[in-house]
Amino acid sequence: AQTVTQSQPEMSVQEAETVTLSCTYDTSESNYYLFWYKQPPSRQMILVIRQEAYKQQNATENRFSVNFQKAAKSFSLKISDSQLGDTAMYFCAFMKRRGGATNKLIFGTGTLLAVQP
Amino acid sequence: DSGVTQTPKHLITATGQRVTLRCSPRSGDLSVYWYQQSLDQGLQFLIQYYNGEERAKGNILERFSAQQFPDLHSELNLSSLELGDSALYFCASSVSGGDETQYFGPGTRLLVL
């Protein structure tokens, strides 16, 4: 079974600074997807970024980028130029690559990020 | 706004009761997923439907059931409610239920007293 581990329950960063959130996962699969979702105080789950395991290039979305280390089974999220609106719980998630019509996300326990003014 | 809608936003009920949570997927999405977020269990996959058919089951209790209707909206039915069922219930949708990204609705917060 796959597991996702986020070892940092809480983190804090100053506005405009850079912060990195860690995620490790355990799987015997070779093809899969990894995601970071953000859950602000509104509790909405918002997709931040997606990484395909078969792609060597790290995904980026504006101020958000990942460091995907497949051999180490590590998938960290870097937030540059942190903004107050980045304050949220961040969840790392894993999904097998199936190519069919059944799939599910497996989530880590989350990291609560507080951006300080 | 993800395009996934869920009603109601909040629900307060008593133990032993039954409730129905509703979800409308994004336009064009055929697959609907239900997830439960609770303090002790975290975010857990419950069940998936694709074009009206059940496709996958996760940690869903026998007291819980779901269905997806011809117009593709889905309902999650929770019966014989217990205090431990208090949680945030999310619906997500994707185009075909395979390898695409899942987009989440705003959730329904259920409180069982």
Percent of chain B with pLDDT over 90: 87
How many residues in total does chain A contain?
Answer: 117
For residue A104, list chain B residues with Cβ-Cβ distance below 8 A.
33, 45, 48, 56, 58
- Residue A56 C-alpha, separation from nearest chain B C-alpha, in angstroms: 18
How many residues in total does chain B contain?
Answer: 113
Instruction: Tell me the C-alpha distance between A46 and A24, whole Å.
Output: 20
Coil, strand or helix at A85 = helix
Residue A109 has what DSSP assignment? -
The per-residue pLDDT for A1 is 79
Contact between residue A24 and residue B90 where contact means Cβ atoms under 8 Å apart: no
Considering only CB atoms, which residues of chain A are within 8 Å of chain B? 33, 35, 37, 42-47, 50, 91, 95, 97-107, 109-110
Mean pLDDT, range A50-71, rounded to an integer = 94
Considering only CB atoms, which residues of chain B are within 8 Å of chain A? 2, 31, 33, 35, 42-45, 48, 50, 55-56, 58, 88, 90, 92, 94, 96-99, 101-104, 106-107, 109
Instruction: Tell me the C-alpha distance between B37 and B88, whole Å.
Output: 5
Contact between residue A11 and residue A111 where contact means Cβ atoms under 8 Å apart: yes
A109 CB-side CA count, 13 A: 9
What's the Rg (C-alpha) of chain A? Answer: 14
pLDDT band at B39 (very low <50, low <70, confident <90, very high): confident
Percent of chain B with pLDDT over 70: 98
Mean pLDDT, range A51-67, rounded to an integer = 94
Are A44 and B50 a contacting pair at CB < 8 A?
no
For residue A105, the tally of other CB atoms under 10 A from its CB is 23
CA of B31: which chain A residue's CA is closest? A101
Coil, strand or helix at B48 = strand
- How confident is the model over A84-108, as pLDDT tens digits? 999 999 999 999 877 665 688 999 9
The per-residue pLDDT for A100 is 60
> Which tokens in the block code for residue A30?
């070779």
pLDDT band at B97 (very low <50, low <70, confident <90, very high): low
Coil, strand or helix at A115 = strand
For residue B106, list chain A residues with Cβ-Cβ distance below 8 A.
42-44
Are A106 and B107 a contacting pair at CB < 8 A?
no
Are B56 and A106 a contacting pair at CB < 8 A?
no
Contact between residue B81 and residue B16 where contact means Cβ atoms under 8 Å apart: yes
B3 CB-side CA count, 13 A: 12
- How confident is the model over A1-43, as pLDDT tens digits? 789 999 999 999 999 999 999 999 999 888 899 999 999 999 9
For residue B50, list chain A residues with Cβ-Cβ distance below 8 A.
101-102
